[in-house]
C-alpha cells in the first residue's frame, strides 16, 4: 500500500483518565505504519483537569503529536473545526479520546475510502462488532436519532454519530467554511454538507468498545440532539430566518451566552412527552375496563381508585420533600447522602403504614359498608395498595431531585403499560374488579422496586459516609428537618390545591346534577391549559433548590420557566378560546352552546395559576414557605365568595379568576427580586 500523509484529530474535554489509553494504542500503531507522514492533533478545550499534562507526557517520545489548547469549552464540533484549520494531511480523520474505536478499525477507513469524499465507521452495519453491548436506553436513543436524521436530511447512513470518520482533504476544505454546528448535530451537519457539495460518503462496519466513563446523559443528550437537528434543518430550509429570530429573542433568555446551561427546555420536554404517554396508557386502561367489566364492577373499581387517589394527595408532599433534599445533596457533591436519606425515609414511613394498617383492620366493616361492597375483596386489595403509597413517593422524588427525569418518566410509563396488560389478563381470567385492582397494585409495586433499584444504581460507587447532626439524623439532615419541610410543603400547596381543584366540588354542591355535569365537561376541556405546563414547574423545582438563599442563577431559571409556561398557555389557551366548539366536541363529546362561555372563562381563570405553580416551586424549593399565607388567603376568599355569590356557574368562574389573579400578583411581588439582582451585580 502506498504511504500517504494522514492527520488524526482528537477532541478532548476533561479526558485525563481515558485519553492515555487511546494514545497508547494509536501513537505506536500509526507511527509504525506511516512514520513521519502522520500527525496527531489533540484539541484540548474547556478542560479543568490534567488532560494537557497527560498528553504532554507523550510528546517527548512522539514528535508527531501536537496539542491545540482552547480555554473555553467549544464542544466537539468546535474542537474539530479548530483542528481542521491547521491539519496538513491529505486525509483528515478524527476519533474520540476514549479509544472506543481501536486503531485497526480506523486504519480500515484509510483502506476503504477510495475516491469517496468521506468514510465513516458504523456500529450498526452488518459485520460490526460492539463489545460489550450498549445499554438498551443508548441503543433505543441511537435508533430514534438515526430515524429522525434520515427523515429530516435524507442521509441513508446507519450511524452518523460514531466517533471515527475520515475525509479527503479537498472535501474537508470545501465544507469547512459552511460548518457552524459545534455540539450534538455537528456530525450530521458535516455529512449533510459533504453530500450537498457532491461528495460520496461510504460507510463500513467497525469494531467498537463501550468504554466506561461516558459523560453523556442519554435522555438529556437525546432531547438536545433532537433540538439541534431541528435547528439544523431550519438553517437549510426556507424558514432559516426563524433561527436568528429565536437567537435574538427567546434564545437570549433561554440560553444566554456565557452562562452554564440548566437544561430546562430539554427536561421540560422529557416530562411533557412522558406525561402524555402516561395519559394515553391511563386512558387505555380506563377504556378497557369500561368495556370488559360490568357496570357494577366498574363502579366498584372507580370508587376504589378514587379513594386511592384521595390517599395519594396528602402523601404526594413526601415526593416533594425527597426531591428537595436529594437535590441539596447532589449540589453539595454528596450523592451518598441521598442513599442514606432514601433508606432512612423508608424506615421511618413504616410508622404511618402501620397506623394505616390498624385503621384498615379495625374499621374494615365500616369502610366496606360505606362503599356498599357486597364482596369485601376489592376493599382488601385496595387497602394493600394504600399501604405501599407512602413508600412509593420517596424514590420517585429522589429521581426528580437528582434530575433523572428520563428514568422517572420511563418507570411511570412502564407502570401504565404493565397495568394495562395485567388488567386485561386478570379480567379475562374472570377476576373482575378485584383483578383490575390487583393489576393496579402489582404494577405500582413493580414501579416502586424499579425506582429503588434505579436510585441505588445511579448513586452507587460513591462513598457512603453517614454525617449525623443529632439523634435520628442521617445524611447530614435530621428527620426533624425532613418532617418540618414536609409540613411547610403541604401548607404552601394547600391553598394552591383549593384554587386549582375546588371548582368542581363547589359547583356540585350548589347546583343541580345536570348543571354540575355540564360544568364538569367544560372545566375538563379548560384544564388542558392548566395541566400542559405543569412539567415546567416539576423540572424547575430541583434546579433551584437551596437552604433559603436566592441567587441570580435560580432567578434566571425561574424567568425561563415563565417563558416556557407562558408559551404553552398562550398556545393551548388561544386554541381553546378560538375553537371552543371543536375542543368540546373532541374532549367532552358534545358542544352545548351554553358550555362555551364557561369553558372560556375557566381557561382565563386557570391561566394565572400556571405561573403561580412555577413561583411556588421556586419558593418552596428554597424553603421560603411564607408564600403559604397569600395562597391560603386567596383560597379562603375564593370559597367565601362562592358561598355568598353562586347564582350561576359563571359567578364561580369569576370568583376563581379574581382569586387566581390576586394570587399571581401577590406571590410575584413576594419573590426575592432584589436579592437576585444584587447577587448578579456582585457576580
Helix then strand then coil, % of the chain, to nearest 5: 70, 5, 25
pLDDT of 261 over the 80 cut: no
Q: Which are the contacts of 645, defined by CB distance < 8 A and separation ≥ 6?
A: 651, 655
What confidence score (pLDDT) does residue 468 get? Answer: 39
**C-beta atoms surrounding 518 within 10 Å:** 19
- Structural element, H or E, at residue 225: helix 218-235
What confidence score (pLDDT) does residue 214 get? Answer: 54
| Cα pseudo-dihedral 179, 182, 188, 193, rounded to 10 | 0
Instruction: Name the pLDDT band for 26 (thresholds 50, 70, 90).
Output: very high
Residue given cell 455529512 in the structure block: 191
What confidence score (pLDDT) does residue 467 get? Answer: 40
Instruction: Name the pLDDT band for 152 (thresholds 50, 70, 90).
Output: confident
pLDDT of 22 over the 80 cut: yes
* Range of lowest pLDDT (157-166, 201-210, 265-274): 265-274
What confidence score (pLDDT) does residue 595 get? Answer: 83
Bigger pLDDT: 677 or 396?
396
Angstrom distance (rounded) from CA 328 to CA 545: 6
Give the pLDDT confidence of 282-326 residue by residue, as tens digits. Answer: 778 877 888 888 878 887 887 788 778 767 877 888 888 899 888
pLDDT of 222 over the 70 cut: no
What confidence score (pLDDT) does residue 161 get? Answer: 86
Give the pLDDT confidence of 599-635 residue by residue, as tens digits. Answer: 999 999 999 999 999 999 999 999 899 988 999 999 9
Closest CA to 613 of 483, 500, 502: 500
Q: Give the CA distances from residue 649 to residues 371, 524, 525, 591, in Å, rounded to whole numbers and listed in that order.
A: 30, 14, 16, 17
User: Chain centroid to CA 598: how far?
Assistant: 34
pLDDT of 471 over the 50 cut: no
Q: Which domains does the chain have, with CATH numbers?
A: 6-213 (3.90.550.10), 267-475 (no CATH), 487-683 (no CATH)
Bigger pLDDT: 470 or 319?
319
What confidence score (pLDDT) does residue 552 get? Answer: 79
Give the pLDDT confidence of 153-197 residue by residue, as tens digits. Answer: 888 899 888 889 999 999 999 999 888 765 668 898 899 999 999
Give the pLDDT confidence of 328-382 residue by residue, as tens digits. Answer: 888 777 777 888 888 888 888 899 899 999 999 998 898 888 778 888 998 999 9
**C-beta atoms surrounding 267 within 10 Å:** 24
Nine cell digits for residue 421: 396488560
What confidence score (pLDDT) does residue 659 get? Answer: 95
Indicate the pTM of the whole model.
0.69
pLDDT of 465 over the 70 cut: no
Helices (DSSP H) in 236-334: which residue ranges?
A: 242-248, 250-254, 264-292, 295-331
Q: What is the mean pLDDT of residues 110-132?
A: 90
Give the pLDDT confidence of 495-531 residue by residue, as tens digits. Answer: 898 898 888 778 877 888 788 778 877 887 888 888 8
pLDDT of 466 over the 70 cut: no
What confidence score (pLDDT) does residue 546 get? Answer: 85
- Kindly state the greatest CA–CA separation across the chain: 94
What confidence score (pLDDT) does residue 353 get? Answer: 92
What confidence score (pLDDT) does residue 210 get? Answer: 73
What confidence score (pLDDT) does residue 317 get? Answer: 86
Angstrom distance (rounded) from CA 570 to CA 577: 10
Q: Are 153 and 167 in contact (CB under 8 A)?
A: no
Q: Would the CA dihedral through 312, 313, 318, 321 be positive or negative?
A: positive
Strand 477-478 and strand 473-474: the pairing is antiparallel
- Structural element, H or E, at residue 340: helix 335-348
Residue 86, CB-side half-sphere exposure with 13 Å CA sphere: 14
Q: To the nearest whole number, what is the mean pLDDT of the chain?
A: 84
What confidence score (pLDDT) does residue 474 get? Answer: 44
Angstrom distance (rounded) from CA 94 to CA 459: 33
Q: What is the mean pLDDT of residues 7-24?
A: 92
Give the pLDDT confidence of 89-113 residue by residue, as tens digits. Answer: 999 999 999 888 999 999 999 999 9
* DSSP track, 454-493: HHHHHHTTS------SSTTEETTEEHHHHHHHHHHHHHHH
* Range of lowest pLDDT (80-84, 128-132, 583-587): 583-587
In eight-state DSSP terms, residue 212 is T
Sequence-distant contacts of 395-398: CB under 8 A, at least 24 apart: 395/322, 395/342, 395/448, 395/451, 395/452, 395/454, 395/455, 396/319, 396/322, 396/451, 397/318, 397/319, 397/320, 397/321, 397/322, 397/323, 397/326, 398/322, 398/323, 398/326, 398/338, 398/341, 398/342, 398/455
The listed range with the strongest mean pLDDT (173-187, 357-371, 426-440, 472-486) is 426-440
What confidence score (pLDDT) does residue 3 get? Answer: 47
Nine cell digits for residue 225: 440532539
Angstrom distance (rounded) from CA 528 to CA 313: 20
Bigger pLDDT: 313 or 259?
313
Nine cell digits for residue 223: 432531547
Amino acid at each position: 500500500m502506498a504511504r500517504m500523509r494522514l492527520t488524526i484529530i482528537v477532541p478532548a474535554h476533561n479526558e485525563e483518565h481515558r485519553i492515555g489509553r487511546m494514545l497508547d494504542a494509536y501513537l505506536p500503531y500509526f507511527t509504525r505504519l506511516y512514520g513521519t507522514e502522520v500527525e496527531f492533533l489533540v484539541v484540548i478545550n474547556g478542560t479543568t483537569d490534567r488532560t494537557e499534562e497527560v498528553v504532554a507526557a507523550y510528546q517527548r517520545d512522539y514528535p508527531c503529536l501536537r496539542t491545540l489548547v482552547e480555554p473555553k469549552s467549544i464542544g466537539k464540533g468546535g474542537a474539530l473545526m479548530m483542528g481542521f484549520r491547521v491539519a496538513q494531511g491529505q486525509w483528515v480523520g478524527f476519533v474520540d479520546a476514549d479509544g472506543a474505536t481501536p486503531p485497526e478499525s480506523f486504519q480500515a477507513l484509510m483502506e476503504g475510502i477510495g475516491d469517496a469524499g468521506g468514510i465513516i465507521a458504523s456500529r450498526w452495519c452488518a459485520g460490526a462488532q460492539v463489545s460489550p453491548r450498549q445499554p438498551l436506553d443508548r441503543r433505543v436513543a441511537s435508533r430514534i436519532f438515526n430515524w429522525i436524521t434520515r427523515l429530516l436530511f435524507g442521509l441513508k447512513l446507519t450511524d452518523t454519530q460514531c466517533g471515527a470518520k475520515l475525509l479527503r482533504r479537498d472535501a474537508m476544505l470545501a465544507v469547512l467554511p459552511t460548518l457552524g454546528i459545534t455540539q450534538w448535530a455537528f456530525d450530521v451537519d458535516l455529512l449533510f454538507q459533504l453530500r450537498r457539495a457532491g461528495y460520496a460518503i461510504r460507510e463500513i462496519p467497525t469494531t467498537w468498545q463501550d468504554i466506561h466513563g461516558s459523560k453523556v446523559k442519554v435522555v438529556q443528550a437525546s432531547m438536545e440532539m433532537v433540538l439541534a437537528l431541528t435547528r439544523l434543518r431550519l438553517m437549510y430550509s426556507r424558514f432559516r430566518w426563524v433561527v436568528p429570530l429565536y437567537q435574538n429573542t427567546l434564545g437570549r433568555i433561554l440560553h444566554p451566552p456565557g452562562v452554564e446551561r440548566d437544561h430546562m427546555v430539554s427536561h421540560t420536554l422529557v416530562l411533557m412527552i412522558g406525561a402524555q404517554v402516561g395519559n394515553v396508557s391511563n386512558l387505555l386502561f380506563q377504556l378497557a375496563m369500561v368495556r370488559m367489566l360490568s357496570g357494577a364492577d366498574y363502579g366498584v373499581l372507580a370508587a376504589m381508585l378514587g379513594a386511592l387517589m384521595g390517599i395519594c394527595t396528602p402523601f404526594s408532599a413526601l415526593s416533594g420533600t425527597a426531591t428537595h433534599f436529594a437535590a441539596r445533596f447532589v449540589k453539595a457533591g454528596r450523592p451518598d447522602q441521598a442513599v442514606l436519606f432514601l433508606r432512612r425515609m423508608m424506615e421511618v414511613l413504616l410508622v404511618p403504614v402501620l397506623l394505616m394498617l390498624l385503621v384498615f383492620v379495625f374499621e374494615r366493616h365500616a369502610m366496606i359498608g360505606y362503599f356498599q361492597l357486597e364482596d369485601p375483596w376489592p376493599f382488601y386489595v385496595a387497602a394493600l395498595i394504600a399501604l405501599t403509597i407512602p413508600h412509593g413517593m420517596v424514590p420517585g422524588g429522589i429521581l426528580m431531585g437528582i434530575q433523572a427525569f428520563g428514568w422517572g418518566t420511563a418507570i411511570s410509563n412502564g407502570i401504565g403499560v404493565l397495568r394495562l396488560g395485567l388488567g386485561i389478563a386478570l379480567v379475562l381470567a374472570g377476576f373482575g374488579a378485584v383483578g383490575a385492582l390487583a393489576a393496579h397494585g402489582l404494577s405500582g409495586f413493580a414501579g416502586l422496586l424499579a425506582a429503588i433499584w434505579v436510585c441505588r444504581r445511579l448513586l452507587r460507587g460513591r462513598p457512603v459516609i453517614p454525617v449525623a447532626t443529632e439523634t435520628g439524623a442521617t445524611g447530614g439532615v435530621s428527620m426533624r428537618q425532613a418532617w418540618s419541610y414536609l409540613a411547610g410543603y403541604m401548607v404552601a400547596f394547600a391553598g394552591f390545591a383549593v384554587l386549582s381543584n375546588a371548582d368542581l366540588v363547589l359547583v356540585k354542591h350548589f347546583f343541580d346534577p345536570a348543571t354540575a355535569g355540564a360544568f364538569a365537561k367544560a372545566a375538563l376541556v379548560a384544564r388542558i391549559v392548566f395541566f400542559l405546563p405543569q412539567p415546567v414547574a416539576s423540572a424547575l423545582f430541583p434546579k433551584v433548590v437551596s437552604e433559603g438563599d436566592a441567587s441570580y442563577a435560580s432567578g434566571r431559571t425561574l424567568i425561563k420557566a415563565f417563558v416556557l409556561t407562558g408559551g404553552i398557555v398562550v398556545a393551548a389557551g388561544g386554541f381553546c378560546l378560538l375553537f371552543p366548539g371543536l375542543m368540546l366536541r373532541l374532549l367532552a363529546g358534545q358542544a352545548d352552546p351554553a358550555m362555551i362561555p364557561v369553558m372560556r372563562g375557566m381557561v382565563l381563570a386557570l391561566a394565572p395559576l400556571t405561573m403561580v405553580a412555577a413561583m411556588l416551586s421556586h419558593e418552596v424549593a428554597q424553603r421560603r414557605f411564607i408564600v403559604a399565607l397569600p395562597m391560603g388567603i386567596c383560597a379562603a376568599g375564593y370559597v367565601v365568595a362562592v358561598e355568598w355569590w353562586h347564582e350561576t356557574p359563571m359567578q364561580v368562574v369569576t370568583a376563581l379568576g379574581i382569586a387566581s389573579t390576586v394570587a399571581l400578583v401577590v406571590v410575584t411581588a413576594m419573590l426575592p427580586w432584589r436579592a437576585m439582582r444584587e447577587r448578579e451585580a456582585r457576580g
